[in-house]
Amino acid sequence: MSTNLCALIGGNTGRIDCDGKRRTPAILIVGSKEFTSSDYADEATLYAAIQTAINQSNGTSGKLFPFPEIGEVADATVAATSGNLALGPSRQLTKERPGYTYSVEIGHSLFQKLLVFHNKEVPVITLDSANQMWFYKNSTNGNIRGEIALITVSGNGFENGTDATTGVCTIGVSYKSVDDFQKKSAFWPFSATVAPGDFQGLKDVTLTEVQAHAANVYKIGLRIPTAQVGATLNPWDEIGAAVAALTFTAGTGASYGTPLTITSVAADNTLDCLTVTFDSTAHTALPALTEIKLIPPTVAVMAAAGLVGYELGSIIVSK
Amino acid sequence: MPYKGLYFFNAEWAAGLTEAQFCEHEAHHGLTKAELKEAYKLCKAAAKPAVPPLPETAP
């Protein structure tokens, strides 16, 4: 019969050869997607599941947002605190709080996009320099997702001309639970064929009326806004014809819930835009100035057609 | 229903029209009459079910 609990205070400490450990972060992927054991049955399946989650329309539950590749890492972990009685050993009073500051070199347009994540608590998946992707693992159901952290986005100001670290965008990541970070973390070791550049965010493409419509025929262009004054990009050459081949829908009325039939979508390579034709009878019946919402194909539909890297926004046109 | 890689017609909508109605409605694309007729025929074929529906059995 034992008179102490010493045998119950620990666990086995056998070393696992070739075990992974957190290396230098290379890229963050932010979002609520949770992967089941079926999703991580093998590398190809997990990779495809991640790409599917990236290629979803904004607002879709489980969409993932890849951040730009990291240029520099600073450890911003808040140190643990300790204390001791005068004659006693040092005891840890509070655990450290893991946190990191990442510097990324990006243009102003992307910086403005990242600002929506500022001061948001989000799940963060991290791919490190050893191609290990780090997750939180639910020990009950085995699902994996990002590790919850508070994100801050700042910087991208003027450079000082002497220090390369100035003028960069600074992304702060402070993990919410040190216990989750330490005890619930798990990693997937991707093979060398996978690289940070494989995980790219989407560009927002807005639809715009390029000229006044002629009765039920509307000319709709594609534009990518930028932070440069007067400069919007036109991705027509890259994606125009392929977009025209996909299904658009339209609606009017309350919440644009009344369908308006689109009879054809054509690629106009003179104006570099879509020619969208509505059913003339239905269009004529609409009161003047009726608002018509033109809804483009979703990101998932576009990705299924091989059109990746873009999300089209809807447009309200006026009869 | 794609036509010549640049025009994508709503086959279900087209199937409910006569050829003349379709050609008049889509005349603004700059296609010739012959091309519009060809597109209409393709839309009609695309909108047709691949297998005819089974006849209803008697009660």
Element (H, E) at A137: strand A132-137
Residue A153's alpha-carbon distances to A157, A211, B12, in angstroms, are 12, 38, 49
Q: Does A316 have pLDDT greater than 80?
A: yes
Q: Does B50 have pLDDT greater than 60?
A: no
**pLDDT per residue as tens digits for the range A150-168:** 999 999 999 999 998 899 9
Answer whether A27's CB lies under 8 Å from A70's CB: yes
A241, A244, A263 member nearest B26 (Cβ):
A263
Answer whether A202's CB lies under 8 Å from A54's CB: yes
Q: Decide: helix, strand or coil at residue B39.
A: helix
Element (H, E) at B34: helix B33-47
Q: Which residues contact A257 (CB under 8 A, 6 or more apart)?
A: A251
Q: Which residues contact A48 (CB under 8 A, 6 or more apart)?
A: none
pLDDT of residue B59: 58
What is the distance between the alpha carbons of residues A221 and A209, in angstroms, rounded to a whole number? 6
Burial of residue A75, with CB atoms counted within 10 A of its CB: 0-12 exposed, 13-18 middle, 19 or more buried: exposed
> What pairs with residue A187 in β-bridges?
A134
Q: Under an 8 A CB cutoff, do B28 and A214 touch? A: yes
Q: Under an 8 A CB cutoff, do B26 and A262 touch? A: no
Answer whether B35's CB lies under 8 Å from A296's CB: no
pLDDT of residue B56: 67
Q: Decide: helix, strand or coil at residue A213.
A: strand
pLDDT of residue A187: 98
Q: Does B53 have pLDDT greater than 70?
A: no
Least Cα separation, residue A54 to chain B (angstroms): 28
Chain B interface mutation, best of A220, A263, A279, A280, highest count of B Cβ atoms under 10 Å: A263
- Give me the amino acid identity at A238: E
**pLDDT per residue as tens digits for the range A257-279:** 999 999 999 999 999 999 999 99
Which has the minimum average pLDDT: A5-9, A89-93, B9-13, B26-30?
A: A5-9
| DSSP state, residue A228 | S
Q: Which residues contact A27 (CB under 8 A, 6 or more apart)?
A: A66, A67, A68, A69, A70, A126, A127, A196, A199
Half-sphere exposure of A172 (CA within 13 A, CB side): 14
Q: Taking the mean position of all CA atoms in its chain, how far away is CA A274?
A: 28
CB contacts of B25 in chain A (<8 Å) are 263, 277, 279-280
Q: Pairing state of beta strands A203-214 and A310-312?
A: parallel
Q: Does A144 have pLDDT greater than 90?
A: yes
CB contacts of A214 in chain B (<8 Å) are 28
Least Cα separation, residue A59 to chain B (angstroms): 28
Q: Does B57 have pLDDT greater than 80?
A: no
Q: Does B48 have pLDDT greater than 80?
A: no
Query: What is the ipTM metric for this complex?
Result: 0.82
